[in-house]
Every structure is written in structure tokens, then in C-alpha cells.
Structure 1
Amino acid sequence: MSAVAKKVAGVDVLLKIKKADGTVLILGGQTGATLNREAETMEVTDKTSGGWASSLPGIKSWSIDADGFVVLGDVALEAVEEAFNDRTPVEAEIRVGATSDLDGVTYNGTGYIVDLPLEFAQDDAVTYSLSIDGATPLVRTKGAVTESTQTA
């Protein structure tokens, strides 16, 4: 544990996409991202539970919801469009903390783009939102990022 605890500004946390050729791309125009993690529960109440319901965690899943402004020419958004159209997976990464931060955390996983609306409001900039549903386990890695540990 580090001697000084520090908070992280959300503006410094970026969603990155890794293309099939290994190129890491920061999704341009981002205004928000949410990493969702959940576990299904199994009800295991029996007669000895004192009238209280009991449950156990079961299968876990993850997803990412993100949104932002459309930036024409953004290669990451183009890669997202291609992955959605081709129904191919993308590797996603979210890093919390600077790459040199020993207390920083990186979340990596592969998933599918399952929602990709574009909004064209008359009185606002063009925006996108996207949802990635995890297809592999979500890997949480704590520590500084080095060349050998940086995957996306």
C-alpha cells in the first residue's frame, strides 16, 4: 500500500480499444464510460436460515457503456463501427491511475459491441454511445504499467 492515498479524476480515465493487428486506440471524443460488473445470485434458503433468505454468488459478467462526441476521422470509432458490423470481438482496456502509478488498476477484457447508437439532435453536437458485453473474463491488474504488461 502506498504511503499517500490519492483520488483519480474521471477525466483522466480513458477507454481504449485494441485492434486485431495489436494497435491500441483511445476512443476519441469520450465524455463518459462505465465499467459494469455483476454476479448472478442463486437462492439457497432452507428451513434452518431463521426465516431469512440466503443466496450465493454465481456466474459473473461485465460490460462497458461509453459515450462521447463523434470525431470524424477517429480511427478508434471506425474500428468500433467495423467490429459492430462484422460481429467481431474487441479488446477493451480501462486504466485507473497514471501508467507509472504503483496503486493504479487496469481492467482488460474482450467483448462484443452490442449497442451503437448515434444521435443527431438539431440543437447539439453529434454523439455516440456504445455498449460492450464481455465475452472473456475481465482481468484486473494492479500496479504500474510496463511495456510487457500493457496489452491495450
Structure 2
Amino acid sequence: MAKISGMKVKLFIKDAATGKILAGQRNATLNRSAETIDSTSKDTEGFWKESIAGFKEWSIDSDGAFIETDEAYAVLESAYLNSENVDVYLEFPSGRKYEGNATITDFSLEVPYDDLVTWSLALQGSGALTKVEAEDEAGA
């Protein structure tokens, strides 16, 4: 079983033409969750509650070093200022991707007096998150 270093997983922001790697990105967390719907009824055995999956949602939290000339950061900043969603994907070394459309819910820039300028980003998924395997793209 191969282990993967987080250093090799990259966050990309899509513009009209292509995906652009978010330069300076250090950390990213892909959050996935589902609501539960209580499906317990009078004929449920053993007094154990039953549930089924309801609506799902996803989000990405990320942070990194600010690079003034980063094209992906410029796409994010423009989308944020214009209240537009962005298309994003996380790509693994194997070519696996998790991709979707997202709303920028937090876009912070930290400018300390005596340290590196950094950014943090919170993206809330809008619609489905899709998983694309490398062979899915090769066959497309």
C-alpha cells in the first residue's frame, strides 16, 4: 500500500482555459459530510435507531505563502471581488482528482511585520464533488 506525501497533492484553480496551480499552497483539507435522515419506525428491531444518508456537502480549507505574481491567486481574487464561484480540483500524484465548483467563503491575507505574508482560503462546494481517476481522463 503506497503512502502519499501531502507535499505532492496540489490545489488547482481553473480559469477559462486551464487549471492553474495555486502557488505557495502549503496545506489543504478536503471536507466531506452527509446529513442523516432518521428512518426509525415502529417495526425497527431491537430499539436501535436507523438512518439513511441525506444531502451531502464538501468544502476545501487551504493556506499558503503569498506570491504576488501567482496567476491562480489572481483568478481567486477576481472571483471573490466579483462574487463569482470558481472551479477547483485537488490532484494527487497518481492523477486522481477531486473537482467541483465552489463559493469563496473566506479569503484572508495575513501581513505580519516580521514574517512571511500568507493567505488562507475557505471554499464551500456548490453542487457535486466528482472523483476522476487518471484512466477516466485517458479514456475520455
TM-score normalised to the size of structure 2? Answer: 0.89
1:76 is paired with a residue whose SS is helix
Structure 2 residue 74 is the aligned partner of structure 1 residue 78 = yes
The answer to whether structure 1 residue 31 and structure 2 residue 26 are counterparts is yes
- Rounded to whole Å, the distance in 1 between the matches of 2:67 and 2:94 is 25
In structure 2, the residue matched to 1:97 is 93
Q: Does 1:115 align with 2:115?
A: no
Pick from 46, 49, 56 the counterpart of residue 53 of structure 1.
49
Structure-2 separation of matches of 1:72 and 1:147: 34
CA distance in 1, matches of 2:70, 2:3: 30
* Secondary structure at the counterpart of residue 47 of structure 2: coil
Q: Identify the residue that residue 39 of structure 2 maps to in structure 1.
A: 44
Map of 1:140 onto structure 2: 131
CA distance in 2, matches of 1:122, 1:44: 55
- % same residue: 37
Consecutive unaligned residues in structure 2, runs of 5 or more: none
1:133 maps to a residue whose letter is Q
State the alpha-carbon separation in 1 of the partners of residues 138 and 99 from structure 2: 15
What residue in structure 2 maps to residue 102 of structure 1?
A: none
- Displacement, 1:144? 4.1
Matching residue of 1:17:
13
Give the distance between the partners of 2:41 and 2:114, measured in 1 at CA: 57
AA partner of residue 93 (structure 1): Y
Distance in 2 (CA, whole Å) between partners of 1:68 and 1:31 is 5
Question: Matches of 2:137 and 2:121 in 1, distance apart?
Answer: 29
User: Any conservation in 1 of the 2:94–2:134 contact (CA below 8 Å)?
Assistant: no
Taking only aligned residues, the RMSD between alpha carbons, in angstroms, comes to 1.9
Given that 2:33 and 2:58 are in contact with CA atoms closer than 8 Å, whether structure 1 keeps it comes out as yes
Q: CA deviation at 1:51?
A: 2.4
Residue aligned with 1:117, SS? strand
Distance change (3 Å), C-alpha of 1:31 and 1:148: same
Could you tell me how far 1:98 is from its partner in structure 2?
3.6
